[in-house]
Amino acid sequence: MGLEMYLDLNSQPCRSVFLFAKKNKIPFEFKHVSLFTGQQHSEEYAKINPKRQVPAIKDGDFTLSESVAILKYLARKYQTPDHWYPNDLQKRARVDEYLAWQHSTVRPHGSKVFMFKVR
C-alpha cells in the first residue's frame, strides 16, 4: 500500500503538503476530504485522524497529521534535496524556526483573507 494524502486544497496547510510532494515527485494517492461539507467530521475519517483535521497521511499502517510534521516526515523518508530540510543542524534549526513562526503568525491571519472572500 502506497502513501495516501488526505487533503482539501482550499486549506493552506494541505496545499503546502501537496505542493511539496508534487515538487519532489513523491508518489501518493490523493484523497479529497471536503471541509466545506464537513467530511472531516465523519466516523470514517476519524479512523485516519482522530483529531478530524486535514492534512493527514497514511503510509502503510502509519498515520500522521499536522502539516509541519508531515513535511518533515516526507523530507526525511524521501531524502529530498538538502535545500528543503538541510542536514546541517543550524540550517535545519533555521527552517524549523520559520515553520514554527509561519504556522503561529502568518497562517492564522492569511486564512482570514480567504474566508472573507468566500463569504
Question: Which CATH number does the domain housing residue 113 bear?
Answer: 3.40.30.10
Average pLDDT value for residue range 38-50:
96
Strand partners, 30: 5
Q: What is the span of the domain harbouring residue 99?
A: 3-118
pTM, entire model: 0.86
pLDDT score for 101:
85
pLDDT score for 26:
98
| Alpha carbons 1 and 23: distance in angstroms, whole number | 22
Domain count, the chain: 1
Which cell numbers hold the place of 21? Answer: 510532494
Which cell numbers hold the place of 38? Answer: 464537513
Give the three-class secondary structure for 92: helix
| pLDDT confidence bin for 15, thresholds 50/70/90 | very high
